[in-house]
């Protein structure tokens, strides 16, 4: 009895397409075949538990084997098997039901991966690497006879009686000449490790030697012998399939090492477990982030029922959490996942916002339960939190309660705590709270000291995102301005009352101003004489907060080319109440005035790190001469 037929498809073009273009990655054929074998195994288990299959389940492992001489690769299972009719139904017809449409669309598609998600061509991916594919199968059904299907990469197939004597299926691939790399032990092992490492049914690939106890010798010492055991390549119960209550911290850390063998321990983790409105399990780890935002080789791995799909999780995981590591498993994501599918899929959007929510919950929880530990981890998690707040409005709403501000004294405050702390002293005459910050405590030390002398607090804002974070704070917090500590004199930063009366008369002030204007030859400097406290420096050089921020943004590629191209503009504030300035006003001749002004100006530049090169040398010489 032999049956020949034609696979029901209206075009002959499908095979060349499968071979060349279907997946850019040919190796996924193995994932498809092994996962079909796993499916068949799971199905027989279910039938058995439902009482619809009464026979023995036996050893339910899937086996992958190859024969270099015969150029075959075989995937075997002891799953439910197929009858000849089922082969016709599932392999010949169903698999190709969408194929005509597929071929039509493929003509215009730029990327075959854009289409693949829509068509169940899993089994046929075997033709990417094989000229001829053979199925030997025996169905679990009572009275079933073994069946064999063979197809040589055209739309013609043949079904004959088969030779399989036990329940299950062998898929035998006759590997084509271009694909002989898939007849290599290491290559196959590598693919299996990548895609099949956590499959729910044991997958055997060859054998390996193992030393076992073998009684005792004459002296009563234990003897050992070497035996061959099945080489099972997978861990069938990875931790994300278990309940968090069964797991210890060590289990999580061990699993992290299993995923990323060469990494430092993670800071903490989140176990995801959702069954409504979609199915999702997984474990996400917060890695230790080294100072610089590093290119990270470890990525989140996406699984579907324990089959590895991809580590390009761009659309599933919110962008700000892309630095996390770990696994996500969702049966709602098809194996043949494509980027365009992910973007359009409503499950994916829900998964995305669920993950955001879970991460926020976890952080809120850590903060509440152990504030000290949370503060210790802040330098690592601060970046996630700020990035999340900047890019995700919902996350901002959650995170505003656990984002921390740190000051120059290394103290941590929540937004509310900080507002309470600084409000009494740092509110200006218009009722605005002024937050001061430094990006570089070394360079801005003179200004920090001057602020701290007034008991003002200075925040540390020296992480890569702080520029944006500061703008966000100003937008979100009511009546709050954030100023860099060197963007004005301490009195002008937090303008509390009418200026002090000036010691100098109006004429004297304008004379002093003229002296400074004449003395200062650097471009972009504008002079103002103000009556500050005598305790302030005689001359202060500052860059306006707004101007500096625009320039910073432009430098970071913020698209503000106009500001970026502006020269640096500084304000030179001359303190009319400082004794030195009084001395300049009173000085006997112009040369003395100019010398004093120049010296006071250079001192101001020096404290800002703006005095360099020849100007610095001049200054040193002049100072020595004066002494
Ligand atoms: P999918 O797995 O998405 O259904 P495939 O093209 O991979 O699509 O497989 C088509 C069908 O062929 C499967 O649904 C199943 O009915 C049948 N099949 C494939 N491999 C096996 C197997 N090893 N044992 C039993 N049935 C199989
Ligand atoms: Mg399949």
Segment 397-451, tens digit of pLDDT: 999 999 999 999 999 999 999 999 999 999 988 889 999 999 999 989 989 998 9
Residue 427 maps to a domain: yes
- Ligand 1 atom closest to Cα of residue 79: 24
Alpha-carbon distance of 316 to 332, in angstroms, equals 12
> What residues contact residue 290 under an 8 Å CB cut-off, 6+ apart?
none
The pLDDT value given to residue 58 = 94
The per-residue pLDDT for range 515-573, each reduced to its tens digit, is 999 988 888 888 999 888 888 889 998 887 777 777 777 766 655 455 556 667 888 99
Residue 283 pLDDT greater than 70, yes or no: yes
Ligand closest in space to the Cα of 80: 1
CATH number of domain containing 95:
3.30.565.10
Residue 390 lies in a domain: no
Flag whether pLDDT at 328 surpasses 50.
yes
Query: Can you say how many angstroms the Cα of residue 538 is from the centroid of all Cα atoms in its chain?
Result: 50
**Of the ligands numbered here, which is closest to the C-alpha atom of 149?**
1
Tell me the average pLDDT across 460-478. Answer: 90
d(CA 48, CA 33): 23
| 72-77 β-sheet, strand order | 3-6, 156-161, 147-151, 130-138, 168-175, 72-77, 62-67, 203-216, 222-232
Is the distance from CB of 511 to CB of 462 less than 8 angstroms? no
Whether residue 208 is contained in a domain is answered as: no
Would you say residue 202 has pLDDT above 90? Answer: yes
Other residues' Cβ atoms within 10 Å of the Cβ of residue 357? 13
**90, 151, 166, best to mutate for ligand 1 pocket (most atoms within 8 Å of CB):** 90
**Of 155, 183, 203, at which residue does a domain stop?**
203
140 — pLDDT class (breaks 50, 70, 90): very high
- Residue 396 lies inside a defined structural domain of this protein: no
Mean pLDDT of 481-497: 86
Least confident segment among 115-129, 367-381, 416-430, 599-613: 115-129
166 and 23 together in one domain: yes
Same domain, yes or no: 51 and 146: yes
d(CA 534, CA 321): 51
**Is there a single domain that holds both residue 446 and residue 476?**
yes
* Shared domain check, 142 and 41: yes
Sign of the torsion angle spanned by Cα atoms 62, 67, 73, 74: negative
Give residues with Cβ within 8 angstroms of 99, minimum separation 6.
Answer: 9, 11, 14, 119, 121
Write out the residue range of the structural domain in which residue 67 sits: 3-203
In-domain check, residue 214: no
Domain ends where: 369, 390, 420? 369
For CA atoms 443, 449, 452, 454, the dihedral sign is negative
Predicted pLDDT of residue 176: 93
pLDDT of 1 > 60? The answer is: no
Q: For 90-126, write each residue's pLDDT tens digit.
A: 887 755 545 555 555 555 555 444 444 445 467 888 9
Q: Does residue 468 sit in the same domain as residue 547? A: no
Residue 110 lies in a domain: yes
Q: Are 141 and 83 in contact (CB under 8 A)?
A: yes
| Whether residue 515 sits in one domain with residue 489 | no
CATH number of domain containing 410:
3.40.50.11260
In this structure, what are the phi and psi dihedrals at residue 74, rounded to the nearest 5 degrees?
-125, 135
- Residue that is last in its domain, among 465, 493, 521: 493
Residue nearest to atom 19 of ligand 1 (CA): 36
In Å, how far from its chain's centre is CA 491?
43
145-149, 155-159, 235-239: lowest mean pLDDT where? 155-159
Q: Facing residues of 325 across strands?
A: 285
Q: Say what the pLDDT of residue 116 is.
A: 47
Q: Where is pLDDT greater, at 348 or 479?
A: 479
Ligand 1 atom closest to residue 91's alpha carbon, by position in its atom list: 12
Q: What is the pLDDT of residue 546?
A: 77
Residues 412 and 473 grouped into a single domain = yes
Whether residue 135 contacts residue 91, with contact meaning beta carbons closer than 8 Å, is answered with yes
> By C-alpha distance, which of 58, 124, 67 is closest to 91?
124
CATH of the domain at 513: 1.20.120.790
The pLDDT, as a whole number, for residue 261 is 81
pLDDT class of 305 with cuts at 50, 70, 90: confident
Same domain, 531 and 446: no
- Say whether both 51 and 155 belong to one domain: yes
What is the CA(123)–ligand 1 centre distance, in A?
A: 6
Phi, psi of 383 (to 5 degrees): -65, -45
Same domain, 250 and 330: yes
Q: Is the pLDDT of residue 296 over 70?
A: no
Residue among 14, 28, 37, 39 whose CB has most ligand 1 atoms within 8 A, to mutate: 39
**Residue-averaged pLDDT of the chain:** 85
Among 464, 284, 295, which Cα is nearest to 387's? 464
CATH of the domain at 364: 3.30.230.80
Q: How far does residue 79's CA lie from ligand 2's centre (Å)?
A: 14
Counting atoms of ligand 1 from 1, which one is nearest the CA of 32? Answer: 7
- pLDDT value of residue 334: 64
Classify residue 380: in a domain, yes or no.
Answer: no
67 confidence band (pLDDT: 50, 70, 90): very high
* Claim to verify: residue 175 and residue 33 sit in the same structural domain: yes
d(CA 286, CA 101): 44
Q: Is the pTM of this model over 0.85?
A: no
Predicted local confidence at residue 103, as pLDDT:
55
Residues 283 and 240 sit within 8 Å (Cβ to Cβ)? yes
User: Using a 6 Å CB cutoff, which residues line ligand 1?
Assistant: 32, 36-37, 40, 77, 79-80, 82, 90-91, 95, 120, 122-123, 169
Q: Please determine, for residue 174, whether its predicted confidence score (pLDDT) is greater than 70.
A: yes
Q: What's the confidence (pLDDT) of residue 166?
A: 96
Which whole number is the average pLDDT over 594-622? 87
Alpha-carbon span 625 to 563, nearest angstrom = 41
pLDDT band at 337 (very low <50, low <70, confident <90, very high): low
List the Cα angle 169/174/176 in 5-degree steps.
145
* Position 386 in a domain: no
Least confident segment among 67-81, 373-387, 532-546, 559-573: 559-573
Q: Of 60-74, 97-111, 113-127, 333-347, where does the model show the most confidence?
A: 60-74
The percent of residues in the chain predicted with pLDDT above 90, rounded, is 46
Q: What is the pLDDT of residues 503-519, one digit of tens each?
A: 888 899 999 999 999 98
Minimal-distance CA residue to ligand 1 atom 4: 120
Overall number of domains in the chain? 4
Verify cis geometry, omega within 30 degrees of 0, for the bond prior to 319. no
Q: 436 and 308 share a domain?
A: no
């Amino acid at each position: 009895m032999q049956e020949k037929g034609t696979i029901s498809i209206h075009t002959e073009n499908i095979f060349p397409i499968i071979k060349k273009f279907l997946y850019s990655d040919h190796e996924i054929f193995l994932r498809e075949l092994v996962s079909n074998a796993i499916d068949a195994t799971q199905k027989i288990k279910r039938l058995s538990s439902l009482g619809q299959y009464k026979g023995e389940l036996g050893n339910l492992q899937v086996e992958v084997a190859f024969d270099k001489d015969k150029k075959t690769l075989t995937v075997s299972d002891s799953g439910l098997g197929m009858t000849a009719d089922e082969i016709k139904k599932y392999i010949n017809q169903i698999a190709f039901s969408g194929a005509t449409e597929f071929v039509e669309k493929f003509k215009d598609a730029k990327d075959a991966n854009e289409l693949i998600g829509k068509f169940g061509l899993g089994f046929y991916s075997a033709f990417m690497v094989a000229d001829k594919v053979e199925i030997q199968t025996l169905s679990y059904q009572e009275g079933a006879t073994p069946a064999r299907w063979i197809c040589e990469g055209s739309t013609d197939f043949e079904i004959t009686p088969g030779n399989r004597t036990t329940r299950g299926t062998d898929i035998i691939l006759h590997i084509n000449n271009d694909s002989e790399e898939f007849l290599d032990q290491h290559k196959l092992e590598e693919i299996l490790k990548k895609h099949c490492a956590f499959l729910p049914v044991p997958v055997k690939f060859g054998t390996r030697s193992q030393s076992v106890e073998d009684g005792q010798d004459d002296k009563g010492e234990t003897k050992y012998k070497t035996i061959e055991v099945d080489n099972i390549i997978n861990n069938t119960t990875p931790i994300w399939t278990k309940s968090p209550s069964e797991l210890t911290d060590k289990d999580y850390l061990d699993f992290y090492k299993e995923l990323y063998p060469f990494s430092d321990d993670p800071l903490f983790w989140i176990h995801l477990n959702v069954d409504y409105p979609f199915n999702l399990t997984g474990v996400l780890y917060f890695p230790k982030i080294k100072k610089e935002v590093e290119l990270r080789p470890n990525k989140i791995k996406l699984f579907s029922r324990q089959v590895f799909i991809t580590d390009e999780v761009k659309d599933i995981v919110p962008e700000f959490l892309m630095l996390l590591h770990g696994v996500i498993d969702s049966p709602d994501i098809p194996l043949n996942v494509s980027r365009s599918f992910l973007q359009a899929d409503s499950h994916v959007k829900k998964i995305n916002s669920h993950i955001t929510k879970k991460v926020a919950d976890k952080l809120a929880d850590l903060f509440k339960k152990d504030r000290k530990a949370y503060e210790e981890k802040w330098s690592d998690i601060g970046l996630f939190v700020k990035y999340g707040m900047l890019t995700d409005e919902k996350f901002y709403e959650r995170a505003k309660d656990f984002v921390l501000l740190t000051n120059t004294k290394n103290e941590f405050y929540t937004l509310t705590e900080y507002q309470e702390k600084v409000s009494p002293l740092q509110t200006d005459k218009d009722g605005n709270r002024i937050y001061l910050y430094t990006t570089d405590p070394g360079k801005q030390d003179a200004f920090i000291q001057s602020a701290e002398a007034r008991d003002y607090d200075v925040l540390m804002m020296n992480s890569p995102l702080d520029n944006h974070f500061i703008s966000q704070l100003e937008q979100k917090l009511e009546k709050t301005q954030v100023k860099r500590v060197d963007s004005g004199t301490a009195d002008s930063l937090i303008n509390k009352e009418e200026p002090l009366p000036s010691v100098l008369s109006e004429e004297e002030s304008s004379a002093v101003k003229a002296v400074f204007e004449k003395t200062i030859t650097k471009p972009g400097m504008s002079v103002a004489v103000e009556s500050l406290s005598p305790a302030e420096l005689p001359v202060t050089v500052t860059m306006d907060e707004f101007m500096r921020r625009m320039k910073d943004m432009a430098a970071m590629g913020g698209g503000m080319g106009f500001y970026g191209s502006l020269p640096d503009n500084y304000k030179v504030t001359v303190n009319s109440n400082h004794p030195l300035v009084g001395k300049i006003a009173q000085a006997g001749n112009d040369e003395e005035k100019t010398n004093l002004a120049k010296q006071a100006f250079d001192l101001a530049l020096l404290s800002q790190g703006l005095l360099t090169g020849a100007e610095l040398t001049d200054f040193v010489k002049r100072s020595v001469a004066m002494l």
